[in-house]
């Protein structure tokens, strides 16, 4: 807090209180004073201000044996809303969530490859639809738009099977600035896999975990790193981008992990067998009609992940690994089980293997993570790292 003026200190304390209430579900004023070290009077003033702004709401008094009844305060779900945009290599999603991350609406668009005009038009039209989902009196509570997108999209032209001239349009496109030009709200940007990791951290069911390596299996695989309960994004914001990790591929040749553990590989397998790969993107919760190829793909994914996990565990002593993706839940669970079996065949002397767990957010993780960017910037405190920049 060095160098903070009085107004800055007040804003920090409000964020601190909101973060504690958000984490614990509900807290009384006495709890806030004990956890923060703030005086009872200061804590009361902050709680009153947050209640006046409709950010927290009172619960039913809890009567003890002595003294005044304790009044728990909790987050007001309608206190703020956030919009997240996921830009993928095969589809885009817009999502509207409330203060607790509960989904109020989604829009999805599939395409053979993304271009800036396509994405900008999708957002321009979709924002209006999203705002209409809220009562008019709540629309001014939409606090921001977060974008989750692969960085350097033009570098993946060959893998995505897209025309070079169309993907090169991304080189000179500042997507955040383009959307900010017509969005009446702050706009934020983050790497898509890091955003997915943030969604698991904030909205997932593994909130008690403080250190883990996160894998998100999308068109191309990506990931994130959580240390001490916060996202570690690194010097350039790309920490945990595990796609380029070298692994052993077919015929013993070294390839990148993206070539062994991405949905793009299954798309190629389907095309080679004369089948339509569009269900991979149009129906991320249900893959049917190509079960045998999916099983073969799961084997490839698990072998690649096992190598990546063992290599990563040798650098950072992760306690857990979480695997999620834009795949049906049963496919994700098969990948988790197969990866555990694959790792058991390694020589693990000198290593403590992390516990491998399935993710709990699924294919909306990147969009939810995008929506969390304005949530953190406006209302919560991230202990170690920024999740995005406005």
What is the pLDDT at residue 1? Answer: 34
Considering the domain delimited by 205-360, tell me its CATH architecture: 2-Layer Sandwich (3.30)
How do the pLDDT tens digits run along the chain, 390 residues long? 333 345 567 788 888 899 889 888 888 888 888 888 888 788 888 889 999 999 999 887 776 655 566 788 899 999 999 999 999 888 899 999 999 999 999 999 988 889 999 999 999 999 999 999 999 999 999 999 999 998 877 776 666 677 888 888 898 999 999 999 999 899 999 888 889 999 999 888 887 888 999 999 998 899 999 998 888 878 777 778 888 899 998 878 899 999 999 999 999 999 999 998 888 877 778 898 899 999 999 999 999 999 999 999 999 999 999 999 999 999 999 999 999 999 999 999 989 989 999 999 998 999 999 999 999 899 988 654 333 333
Counts for the chain of helices (H) and strands (E), in that order: 13, 15
Give the pLDDT score at 382: 62
Q: Are 27 and 72 in contact (CB under 8 A)?
A: yes
Give dist(CA 8, CA 354) in Å, integer. Answer: 40
Q: Return the CATH fold of 6-75.
A: Arc Repressor Mutant, subunit A (1.10.10)
Structural domain spans, the chain: 6-75, 81-196+367-379, 205-360
Please indicate whether the domains covering 81-196+367-379 and 205-360 agree at the CATH topology level.
Answer: yes
Q: Judge contact between 324 and 360, C-beta under 8 A.
A: yes
**Which whole-number Å values give the CA distances from 326 to 156, 222, 283, 332, in the listed order?**
19, 12, 10, 9
Q: Any idea which fold 81-196+367-379 has?
A: Nucleotidyltransferase; domain 5 (3.30.420)
């Amino acid at each position: 807090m060095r160098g903070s003026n009085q107004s800055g200190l007040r804003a920090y304390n409000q964020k601190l209180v909101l973060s504690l209430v958000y984490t614990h579900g509900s807290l009384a004023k006495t709890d806030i004073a004990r956890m923060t070290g703030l005086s009872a009077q200061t804590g009361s003033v902050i709680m009153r201000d947050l209640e006046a702004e409709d950010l927290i709401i009172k619960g039913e008094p809890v009567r003890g044996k002595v003294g005044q009844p304790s009044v728990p305060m909790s987050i007001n779900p309608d206190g703020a809303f956030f919009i997240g945009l996921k830009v993928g290599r095969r589809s885009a999603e817009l999502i509207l969530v409330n203060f607790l991350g509960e989904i109020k609406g989604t829009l999805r668009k599939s395409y053979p490859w993304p271009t800036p005009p396509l994405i900008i038009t999708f957002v321009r039209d979709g924002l209006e639809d999203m705002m209409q989902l809220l009562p008019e009196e709540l629309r001014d509570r939409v606090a921001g738009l977060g974008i989750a997108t692969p960085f350097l999209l033009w570098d993946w032209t060959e893998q995505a099977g897209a025309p070079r001239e169309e993907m090169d349009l991304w080189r000179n496109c500042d997507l955040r600035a383009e959307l900010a030009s017509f969005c009446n709200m702050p706009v934020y940007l983050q790497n898509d896999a890091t955003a997915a990791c943030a969604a698991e951290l904030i909205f997932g069911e593994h909130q008690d975990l403080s250190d883990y390596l996160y894998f998100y299996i999308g068109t191309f695989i990506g990931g994130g790193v959580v240390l001490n309960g916060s996202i570690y994004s690194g010097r350039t914001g790309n920490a945990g981008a595990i796609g380029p990790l070298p692994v052993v591929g077919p015929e013993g040749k070294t390839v990148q992990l993206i070539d062994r553990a991405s949905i793009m590989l299954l798309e190629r397998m389907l095309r080679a067998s004369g089948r339509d790969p569009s269900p991979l993107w149009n129906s991320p919760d249900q893959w049917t009609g190509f079960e045998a190829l999916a099983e073969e793909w799961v084997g490839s994914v698990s072998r690649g992940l096992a190598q990546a996990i063992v290599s990563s565990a040798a650098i950072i002593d992760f306690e857990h690994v979480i695997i999620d993706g834009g795949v049906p839940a049963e496919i994700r669970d098969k990948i988790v089980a197969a990866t555990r079996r694959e790792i058991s065949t390694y020589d693990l002397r000198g290593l403590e293997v992390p516990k491998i767990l399935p993710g709990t957010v699924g294919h909306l993780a990147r969009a939810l993570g995008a929506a969390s960017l304005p949530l953190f910037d406006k209302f919560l405190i991230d202990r170690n790292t920024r999740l995005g920049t406005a």
